[in-house]
Structure 1
Amino acid sequence: MSQRKALKIIVIAQFLGTSLWFAGNAAAPQFSAVLGEENLIGWITSAVQFGFILGTLTFAIFSIPDRYKPSDVFFFSAVMAAAFNLLLAVIPPSFWVLISGRFLVGFFLAGIYPVGMKIAADYFEKGLGMALGFLVGALVLGTASPHLIASLDFNVSWKLIFWSTSLFAILGGAMVGFFVPDGPYRKPLGQFDWNLIPSLLKIDSLKSAATGYFGHMWELYTFWAFCPALILYFQDGSNPSNLTSFIAFSVIGIGGISCAIGGWFSEKYSSRSVALFALAGSGICCLAVLLIPEGSIWIWISFLLIWGILVTADSPQFSTLVAQSVPAEFKGTALTLVNCAGFALTIFSIALADFLLGKLEIQEILALLAIGPVFGIVGFLYFDKKKRLSTKASSSI
């Protein structure tokens, strides 16, 4: 199969599969009415995140994406995630059924998102930054979709949401499982090795890429989570809620486009350059949020759109650097492990921001997110320098 055809299938399949991620968010208002529970979105989102973290940790520890055929792992994970998603529509709803179901959906999403990147890495030795730009862009658009649904005031049954997203996921899984063979650069890992992860953690190029990714993740999900609150703050209640949702969709969704554009630039300049430029740019936005005058809402919308572009463009490029930092037979494990740690970090970042809410202004809270880009850039350059010195020393022997 050609690279281009494989990439098209993987991108579409990944978008369909990851539609499960935010199905619960889209159905949260109706679940709140059915269960008589308020503030379910926080519980639903956290359940999926924790499930994904545990899932990626499990997949990484047992090297599942590298030991087994990745397209089979993708298909099996999509079917299982779809099944637990659909379960919420066919059994009597309750709070713990909802949270357990979303947790298990998150667990099996670990076999869709990072494994999709692993499959792309098996097809692209060159041009991987561009390929992952499209893949991550599809995930970003999926992330933004609940805000679009909210802005359109659709009154769709929550059961229809779960049925449709489950069917989408199964379709996506089948597309990869039946139509995407192993890529030409895949090297299967022979047997399970408890020492694999400790060995990977000694690689300076992996630590460099992973540290940059962690700095990016510290900022990304907290920015997305608090973006609607920032928009509301500067609207001063003067605009309807559906407009706020549409602005939030635009700010988050534009990042999907920037991921693809960043992938194109990575071909011309390198993944390293694009990743560092975007991370530095989004870090500057963290601080600039304190300096933007409280004037026209359009100034703020323009600023947030720029931030939305920069805050995501580095993600696929850091993932590209992760995949390129290890031997081919370890790519799936490395990508899954770094995803696990990165998403775990978002829990602490969001929790800290939530703790500070009410103690600081919303723009002051978001300004503190600059800690992530600063840490990411410094750590990236430190380990990158260690790698270069080590390579130079080895070549001089």
Structure 2
Amino acid sequence: MRRILPTIVFTQFACTSLWFAGNAVLPELQQELNLEQDALGLITSSVQLGFIAGTLCFAFLSLADRVSPRLLFMLCAVAGAATNALLVFLPADFTTILLLRVATGFLLAGVYPVGMKIAASWYSGSLGKAIGYLVGALVLGTAFPHLLRALGNSLHWQSTLLTISGLAAVGGLAMYLLVPDGPYLRKGAAFDIRNMLQAFKVNEFRAAAFGYFGHMWELYTFWAFVPVILAYSLPELTTVQISLYSFCVIAAGAIGCVGGGHLSQRFGSARVAFVQLLLSGLCCLAAVFLLAVSSTIVIIPFLLFWGVVVAGDSPQFSALNARTAPQHLVGTALTVVVSIGFALTIVSIQFTTYILKFMPLPVVFALLVVGPILGLLSLRQLVGRQ
């Protein structure tokens, strides 16, 4: 029993490192292939698009509730590692990169939401705390490619991608071999296309889901553009310094996830999510003033704090969604919610990429506050019931 949570945490970290692998090696790819500046948004959105397609497919077939989650996790993790590694062996052109990133995103749909279902099968009363560790691992995995690039600056981009793929494959195998089915694993639902939307008939689930959607409008856009923000606000930074600071800012979210998980044991998931979403919304507004100040002692602490709160509410939203969904549809409900949330990230990322051509960066990132505002309005009804 003691090894279960550490193993789930490790596997989530290892497998989600595939997410931003393309972002981490983007400067080398831009130089080698003469890519345009908007390549960042396209590569990030291609992973999100694949993830959405995967979650919709899995939800349509109710795979997360009909197939052993351990087996599904392992197969998707190993296959995702393979598609990521294919970037090294296939002809390097932008179309191939985008297609392989879409495929990787598709397979990540069998990692992130399925990992949450596995955690939910082992932890009931302490689900907010357990998912805090799990999403904290996801945050570290997302940030890891930036660290690898900063520490291994002499590595070719091919070596970076192969290292990440190897780590993901090990994570998938570890989940299958070391984590048995949990005692709270519910019997899966039979296939029914209505399963995809049935959970939204529950008021509490709908409130948690829409709070999560507001959170997602901000989260991945902030993560994707952290290097851009650093280069804008601190133009004196080197490429290695930008990668290292990007890792620190994104990885800081793990503190918010784990800390929020512990706080949820005392104050409840809804209250913890509400406060962190409120703070991240305030960071959006503060960006108008602070990102225009070209000072390391101002920018870095501000971005680190934003990094903590922008991700810290994510596990509590997941816990709320898992608790309020019909119990025989937890896997499918989580998958559908995550799918819609990531669809919103594509809109947010592409919208941000577009308006950056016409508006100053600090003003653009202040506009992300729309997501937290809408999320807070939806979440407040759950806060009053805790």
The bucket for the TM-score relative to the shorter chain is over 0.9
* CA shift for structure 1 position 227: 2.8
Q: Deviations over 1:221-260 (max 9, x none)?
A: 122233333333332x333333233222222111112211
Residues of 1 paired with 2:33 and 2:365: CA distance? 33
- String of CA shifts for 1:101-123, please: whole Å, max 9, x gaps: 22111101100111001100011
What amino acid sits opposite 2:257 in the alignment?
C
Q: CA deviation at 1:375?
A: 0.2
Answering whether residue 44 of structure 2 is matched by residue 48 of structure 1, we say: no
Q: What SS does the corresponding residue of 2:252 show, helix, strand or coil?
A: helix
Q: TM-score, normalised by structure 2?
A: 0.93
Could you tell me which residue of structure 2 aligns to residue 135 of structure 1?
Answer: 134
Q: Bigger shift: 78-87 or 371-380?
A: 78-87
Shift of 1:383: 7.3
* Residue number in structure 1 paired with 2:314: 315
Match of 1:63 in 2: 62
Q: CA deviation at 1:268?
A: 1.6
Aligned to 2:231: 232
**TM-score, scaled relative to structure 1:** 0.90
Counterpart-to-counterpart distance in 2, 1:160 and 1:294: 37
Aligned residue type for 1:20:
L
Q: Distance in 2 between matches of 1:230 and 1:170?
A: 32
Partner Cα distance (2:34, 2:233) in 1: 31
Unpaired segments of 5 or more residues in structure 1?
389-397
Matched, 1:249 2:247: yes
Mean alpha-carbon deviation: is it higher for 348-357 or for 25-34?
25-34
Q: Is the 8 A contact 1:205 1:384 kept in 2?
A: no
Question: How far is the alpha carbon of 1:161 from its aligned partner?
Answer: 2.7
Contact 1:206 1:322 in 2 (8 A): yes
Q: 2:368 — aligned with what?
A: 369
Q: What is the correspondence of 1:1-397 to structure 2 with a 5 Å cutoff?
A: 2=1, 4-39=2-37, 40-152=39-151, 154-235=153-234, 237-292=235-290, 294=293, 296-382=295-381
Number of residue pairs matched by the alignment: 383
Cα distance 1:190–1:313, how it changes in 2: closer, same or farther (>3 A)?
A: closer
Query: 1:173 Cα deviation (Å)?
Result: 1.2
Is contact 1:51–1:107 with CA below 8 Å preserved after alignment?
yes
1:393 counterpart residue number:
none
Q: Report the alpha carbon displacement of residue 349 of structure 1 after superposing the two structures with TM.
A: 1.1
Change (3 A) 1:19 1:177: same
Shift of 1:190: 4.0
User: Cα deviations across residues 77-106 of structure 1 (Å, max 9, x unaligned)?
Assistant: 112212222223333333332222221111
8 Å CA contact 1:204–1:383 kept in 2: the answer is no
Q: Which runs of 5+ in 2 are unaligned?
A: none
Cα gap change, 1:384 to 1:193, in 2 (>3 Å): farther
Distance change in 2, residues 1:227/1:160 (3 Å): closer
1:171-225 Cα distance to aligned partner (Å, 9 max, x none): 1111111221111111122410121123212111111111111111111112223
Give the SS at the match of 2:190. coil
Q: Secondary structure at the match of 2:3?
A: helix
Aligned CA distance change for structure 1 residues 370 and 270 (closer, same or farther; 3 Å): same
Residues in 2 aligned to 1:296 and 1:160: alpha-carbon distance in whole angstroms: 34
8 Å contact from structure 1 (residues 78, 111) kept in 2: yes
CA 1:331/1:204 → structure 2, altered by over 3 Å: closer, same or farther?
A: same
Identity %: 45
What displacement does 1:295 show? 6.5
Confirm or deny: 8 A CA contact 2:45 2:349 kept in the other structure: no
Q: CA deviation at 1:303?
A: 1.8
Residue 223 to residue 33, structure 1, CA distance change in 2 (3 Å): closer
Q: Amino acid of the residue matched to residue 155 of structure 2? A: V
Asked if the contact 1:207–1:383 (Cα under 8 Å) also holds between the matched residues in 2, the reply is no
Alpha-carbon distance change, 229 to 162 in structure 1, aligned in 2, over 3 angstroms: closer
CA-CA distance at 1:146 after TM superposition: 3.2
Contact 1:153-1:242 within 8 A present in 2 as well: no
Local SS of the residue matching 2:201: coil
Q: Considering only aligned residues, what root-mean-square deviation do their CA atoms show, in Å?
A: 2.1
Measure, in 1, the Cα distance between the counterparts of 2:168 and 2:300. Answer: 33
Q: Which has the larger radius of gyration?
A: 1
Whole-angstrom CA distance in 2 between matches of 1:86 and 1:226: 24
CA shift in 2, pair 1:163/1:355, >3 Å: closer
What is the alpha-carbon distance in structure 1 between the residues aligned to residue 91 and residue 221 of structure 2? Answer: 33
Query: For the structure 1 residues 231 and 96, does the alpha-carbon distance in structure 2 shift closer, same or farther, using more than 3 Å as the test?
Result: closer
**Aligned partners of 2:109, 2:200: CA distance in 1, in Å?**
20
